[in-house]
Amino acid sequence: MRAAVTSGVGEMALLERPEPPRPGPGEVVVHPEAVGICGSDYHFFTGELSSAAGGALFPRVQGHEIGASITALGEGCRPELRVGQRVAVWPLQACGECYPCSVGRENTCDNFQLIGIHLDGGLQERLRTIQDQVFPIRTESRAVAAMAEPMSIGVRAVSRARIQPGEWVVVLGAGPIGQCVALAARERGAELLMIDRQQRRLGMSTDVGAETLLWTEADEVVLAARGWAGGGGPRVVVDATGVPAAVRAMIEMVASAGRAVQVGMSGEEVSMRIGSLTEKELDLLGVSCCGSNEFAEAVALVERHDALVARMISQEFPLEQAPEALRFAIGNPHEVMKVVIRGE
Ligand SMILES: [Zn+2]
Ligand SMILES: [Zn+2]
């Protein structure tokens, strides 16, 4: 079978690899039908993520946003799973023994392994995994099934943020993750404002039911967002960019006693006035990936909004062009919302 293998920093090639063995008890083999490419894939490919592990992660088959169909089932799998069924893959495996696992926070496990980062992922024709990772999903579209994973980040973010109906929520960054956060927040009854540098991305935000604001200068944006929310500023602000200026704006615009939620990943550093944290008594909340219950919630959310979710997909490439697809996504941020790589 064919696999797109990342062999080192900036090096990906299509190789022939042996088929996985027959699934053992509790295991499944799936055929990845669509794999979404996201920021963490860029970071892995360009070495920011992979070199932190001293190159130990190479060679790796990337791809953690996976829509797939089941091709083989081992003994003892749960009865709802059938061969031929479309599934979304939950990429996280946790140890179950460390402190975060012991307090029900498996998504921040000290020893966690992510399919597509620490384990081989979806950019290959067959993937063997354990049955706990696969969730049946009802959608006609293969690519939409791959969106369950980014949606699960949105579900995790609104659950960390404890968003209540009618709350004024600002989302900085209108890329796929920002849109997923917005959709999940909308379902909780939030009033939404989305902010981005790109007018094009904000077009999608309107469909999600958000008001929009183009990012200009930080001071201007903070003032406008506080004016929009009224009454002392937005209760919840989510940063889905990982850009220092946006993170600082989040801290400045959020209401006193509010929640500032960091979803965007980055290795950059940010300077901010320490007093803003104490005076406002902010809850500063980080968001990683999600647990299995939240993944199931994300699957249901994608099923309910599959037409809207489909519109987040901006380009599709076949598996043979996986290296080109990744380079295209990295090189064309203004044209790309979500790039998906198709299996046959
Ligand atoms: Zn992702
Ligand atoms: Zn653990």
- 143 pLDDT band, cuts 50/70/90, is very high
Ligand 1 centroid vs 68 CA: distance in angstroms? 16
Indicate whether 188 pLDDT > 90.
Answer: yes
The confidence score (pLDDT) of residue 260 equals 98
Ligand 2 centroid vs 102 CA: distance in angstroms? 7
Ligand 1 centroid vs 76 CA: distance in angstroms? 30
Ligand 1 centroid vs 281 CA: distance in angstroms? 31
Q: What are the structure tokens assigned to 60, written together?
A: 């790796």
pLDDT tens sequence across 54-106: 667 899 999 999 999 999 999 999 999 999 999 999 999 999 999 999 999 99
Bridge partners of 3, per DSSP, are 15, 124
DSSP conformation class of 107 = G
Ligand 1 centroid vs 19 CA: distance in angstroms? 25
The angle subtended at Cα 234 by Cα 233 and Cα 240, nearest 5°, is: 130
Rounded Cα gap, residues 237 and 229, in angstroms: 11
Rounded Cα gap, residues 3 and 323, in angstroms: 11
Ligand 1 centroid vs 223 CA: distance in angstroms? 32
Query: Distances in Å between the alpha carbon of 63 and those of 166, 256, 344?
Result: 36, 40, 16
Task: Report the C-alpha dihedral over residues 72, 73, 74, 76, rounded to 10 degrees.
Answer: -170
Ligand 2 centroid vs 150 CA: distance in angstroms? 22
More confident residue, 23 or 265: 23
Bridge partners of 30, per DSSP, are 70, 127
Rounded Cα gap, residues 217 and 238, in angstroms: 18
DSSP conformation class of 254 = S
Bridge partners of 339, per DSSP, are 37, 315
CB contact at 8 A, 338 and 53: no
The confidence score (pLDDT) of residue 267 equals 85
The confidence score (pLDDT) of residue 54 equals 64
Indicate whether 49 pLDDT > 80.
Answer: no
pLDDT tens sequence across 329-344: 999 999 999 999 999 7
Query: Distances in Å between the alpha carbon of 295 and those of 29, 76, 290?
Result: 20, 22, 6
The angle subtended at Cα 103 by Cα 290 and Cα 94, nearest 5°, is: 50
Ligand 1 centroid vs 278 CA: distance in angstroms? 33
pLDDT tens sequence across 287-303: 999 999 999 999 999 99
Which of 220, 154, 232 lies closest to 186, judged by CA? 154
* Mean of all residue pLDDT scores within the chain: 96
The confidence score (pLDDT) of residue 57 equals 87
Mean pLDDT, residues 51-56 taken together: 66
Indicate whether 51 pLDDT > 70.
Answer: no
Indicate whether 222 pLDDT > 80.
Answer: yes
Ligand 1 centroid vs 42 CA: distance in angstroms? 10
Query: Distances in Å between the alpha carbon of 315 and those of 28, 67, 194?
Result: 29, 16, 23
The confidence score (pLDDT) of residue 341 equals 98
Ligand 2 centroid vs 114 CA: distance in angstroms? 12
Ligand nearest to the CA of 153: 1
pLDDT tens sequence across 224-266: 999 999 999 999 999 999 999 999 999 999 999 999 999 998 8
Ligand nearest to the CA of 62: 1
Residues 6 or more apart whose Cβ sits within 8 Å of residue 183? 151, 154, 208, 301, 305, 308, 309
The confidence score (pLDDT) of residue 48 equals 80
Ligand 2 centroid vs 132 CA: distance in angstroms? 16
pLDDT tens sequence across 144-180: 999 999 999 999 999 999 999 999 999 999 999 999 9
Ligand 1 centroid vs 167 CA: distance in angstroms? 27
Percentage of the chain beyond pLDDT 90 is: 93
Helices 199-208 and 176-187 meet at what angle, rounded to 10?
20
